[in-house]
Amino acid sequence: MNIPYYFDLHTHSLASGHGTASTISDMAKTAAARGLSALGVSDHAPGTLGSATESYFRSLALAPRRRFGLQLLYGVELDILDVNGRLDLSDEILSSLDYAIASMHPANFTPRSKAENTEACIHAMKHPKVRILGHCDDSRYPVDYPAIVQAALEYQVFPEINNASLAPDGCRGEAEENIMKLLTYCAAAGCPVLLSSDSHGTEHLGDFSYAEALLARLHFPQELILNRSMDHLAFFKH
């Protein structure tokens, strides 16, 4: 598999639950075999039922930084818990991780109005460890995309283009239409984006095929796709 992208940072191991059985070692081996140069493991934070514990995230400070010739980063997918952008992992633990993704999930944040959803995202983006805004394409959570892009530029947080959202079996409603809107505003403002597989286990690691097809249709500027250069990995490293 010849992937023209260097890294995938939104991935989940067995620590995230959801029936995923892959270890970090399994994922690193698969990612290396698929041609990636770096892999970020971002398991769900404790607010997600059946997910990783605080002790798991503490232990990542001791985890290997290279496996199978691959550079490894350790992050977390946080839940946005309220309109004030409260997150479900302490600052103490977050400080030891490379990066955090802030996302909305129905189990932890009941969908609100567009204004409230946008306010919650922007507050979460202000946290210094949050580097990625996760799947802000979810039709259940309408947001003000111009305001999101402006905040992304201000706080150096990168909107995610989530390949799983675009898959035929995706669970986020009219994600393609929402991502097209987001990409249009990002292109106009010069806001970089991050392609993510959101792979739970090894199956979809490094797979950005649906996202790539959409980017091509929109003639989205290649220089705004962070995965295209290893230099951009520095934005996400502790």
Nearest residue to 73 (alpha-carbon basis) of 81, 65, 62: 65
Given this model, what pLDDT does residue 108 score?
Answer: 94
Given this model, what pLDDT does residue 3 score?
Answer: 55
Mutual angle of helices 175-189 and 209-218, in 10-degree steps: 50
Residues 6+ apart with CB under 8 A from 112: 83, 120, 141
**Separation between Cα atoms, residue 95 and residue 211, nearest integer Å:** 31
**Separation between Cα atoms, residue 43 and residue 55, nearest integer Å:** 13
Given this model, what pLDDT does residue 1 score?
Answer: 41
Residue ranges of the chain with per-residue pLDDT less than 50: 1
What are 195's strand-pairing partners?
161
Which tens digit of pLDDT belongs to each residue from 156-194?
999 999 999 999 877 776 899 999 999 999 999 999 999
Q: Are 20 and 201 in contact (CB under 8 A)?
A: yes
What are 76's strand-pairing partners?
43, 100
Which tens digit of pLDDT belongs to each residue from 85-97?
999 999 999 999 9
Phi-psi region of 122 (alpha: psi -120 to 50; beta: other; left: phi over 0): alpha
Given this model, what pLDDT does residue 76 score?
Answer: 98
